[in-house]
Structure 1
Amino acid sequence: MGPTPAPRGCHASALLGNKGYITGGAEAEELDIFCLDLESWTWNRFDILPFGAPLGRSMHTMNSISDEVLFIYGGLGVDGNTLNDAWLFNAQKREWTKLNHPHKDKPRVCHTAGLGSDSDVVVFGGSSNLCILVDSVAVLRAPRQHHCRDILIFQTQPYSLCRLCEDFIGGNPERFRPQLDWLPSKLRNKIAKRAECLSTMKPTPTA
């Protein structure tokens, strides 16, 4: 029942409570979004606002980061480009908000994404520049797909003071090494793991 989505592939989906959401995967100029009530099994389409909606796309990711908000990142745009934009969709207010982030030089398509602590979204892998070859017989992937192995972390809400301190100490372990021994073992181990993770995310110097 309700306005059902058109047939599509390479779309994204996520759950908010007892409702499932799908978006993209169709050749629409702007990113559409549908909701399926999993109790009444009725569809609902969120009308595209006259401004502020993201570009239509496929092969992107969508994650729920709260009871009301969905996070959408990257994908292959209907303009043929691999995208690097991140968006928040508030299902209660029915509003799109573009999220500023530090990974604008890292477009992604065919990646994976999961929810981390403090409503962070963790993105891994994918391709930074998907190329598709089309001829009269078949659609083929280009030989080189620009596959990625780095981890991108998207902050979707303000951090607590405790999280900010952990990140700062973890990012400067040598500076605080004498003081780390004063901490309880559980907190010390947590910061050690944070430091190890942050060190792997630093860009490798090139000659």
Structure 2
Amino acid sequence: PLPPLLPPSQKALMLELKSLQEEPVEAFRITLVDESDLYNWEVAIFGPPNTLYEGGYFKAHIKFPIDYPYSPPTFRFLTKMWHPNIYENGDVCISILHPPVDDSQSGGELPSERWNPTQNVRTILLSVISLLNEPTPQPMWMLRLCSGNGGTETVSATKAEAEKDGVKVPTTLAEYCIKTKVPSNDNSSDLLYDDLYDDDIDDEDEEEEDADCYDDDDSGNEES
């Protein structure tokens, strides 16, 4: 008998996960929250050097809708963050995560700045890094920093989590830009890919390391 057909979103997520594990985005570690659930991902983010978040180890969840990539996923930090574009509940305010519909909360965004099916996890991750690199200070955010509850305390609080996960957080630009494959403790992820037909995945040689980790055409989206 033929294998059951996979939902288009599940097939798309399998391919994206495989791509990100073989050619990672610098300063991110990607895993599934549960190996049997492709719609919930855990992301560990290394704070960019020369920013308030340098040396930090921040965790987040990406939750995908069943009609992905036609609707955007949600991106929520689990680590407490102090940032003008990150809400207290951890939700991130980035234009490409907003649905391409009229929204009174859009702040004048153009439809072209919002989500569309050509976006993917890689463009989201690059947008998050851009957000951490170039925060837009707001009065309340500056007040929090001045009261001692800002970026420095946030980074310090994440060091124990990094040690628990056995992760060495990069603190220099050279370390930050190194691409490394995500280690795998078992072959459960490989089993997910085996569910795809062989002709759906083209095996490619791993690309050479790119010394400029900000050189990516997908990172030019504006944040709201």
Bigger radius of gyration among the two: 1
Bigger helix share: 2
* TM superposition score normalised by structure 1: 0.25
User: Larger relative CO (CA 8 A, sep 6+): 1 or 2?
Assistant: 2
* TM superposition score normalised by structure 2: 0.23
Bigger strand share: 1
